[in-house]
Amino acid sequence: AALGAEVCATDHPRVVHKAEATIMEGGLLEGIPEAARSRLRFRPLAWGSNAEGNEATNLSELCGFAGPIDLVVGADLVYDGFPVEALHETVASALLEHGATAMLALQPRLFPMAAALKEPKIVQAFLRRLAQQGHGWDVTAQPAGSGALGAAQQPRLPDGQAASKGLVLATITPPGARSVPARSRKRG
């Protein structure tokens, strides 16, 4: 939003209001001009085509965009007890419908916290399923090593390991995806 894009942040219908409050009132937008803040909206989205609580299944419609979405950005999407199949359906459907590309940051959460995965291979299985979607799907995934995120700035876990341990950055492009338009720069 700060660079001029219309941005729609989604979360599960039961928690989207908490996410919005955290971002809008938690100081995360400090220094961001009001014009940029006005381009940021929050919407509830439950994964899956028949998920209870979805007001719309088309992301452009849900977010109030005039045209198709260009880019899906996601992080911390895979958890124990959450419907990975429904997540796959939602991501694949949105990308195909809009000709969009996705950039996802997925982490097995190996450190002790409520969101730790009992089965860390769920992340790999999710990405493999997208790659096997059919002809023309391009899924690239790479570990985000300490150099990718700036090792000096990374938070550390109690055992001294980088909090980004196991983090995978993935780009998913369906067949027929449009190029994400480059933002023109003003010279002065």
Question: Cα–Cα distance between 173 and 130 in angstroms, integer?
Answer: 10
**Both tokens of residue 58?**
């088309």
At residue 144 the predicted structure's pLDDT band, cuts being 50, 70 and 90, is confident
Tell me: the pLDDT tens digits for 150-179? 555 666 666 666 666 677 889 999 998 987
What are the φ/ψ torsions at residue 106 (nearest 5 degrees)?
-120, 135
Question: Cα–Cα distance between 20 and 32 in angstroms, integer?
Answer: 16
Question: Cα–Cα distance between 128 and 73 in angstroms, integer?
Answer: 18
pLDDT, greater one: 49 or 125: 125
pTM, two decimals, is: 0.78
How far the first Cα of the chain sits from its last, in Å, is: 22
Q: How far is CA 149 from the centre of its chain?
A: 17
Long-range CB pairs of 5-8, under 8 A, 24+ apart, other chains included: 5/39, 5/183, 6/39, 6/41, 6/63, 6/65, 7/39, 7/40, 7/41, 8/40, 8/41, 8/42, 8/43, 8/59, 8/62, 8/63, 8/64, 8/65, 8/69
β-strand partners of 64: none
Question: Cα–Cα distance between 68 and 65 in angstroms, integer?
Answer: 7
Query: Does 187 score more than 50 pLDDT?
Result: no
Query: Does 183 score more than 60 pLDDT?
Result: no
Which of 12-16, 57-61, 64-68, 105-109 has the lowest average pLDDT?
105-109
Residue 3: what pLDDT?
Answer: 84
Query: Does 148 score more than 60 pLDDT?
Result: no
Amino acid at 32: I
Tell me: the pLDDT tens digits for 20-49? 888 888 777 888 888 888 899 999 998 886
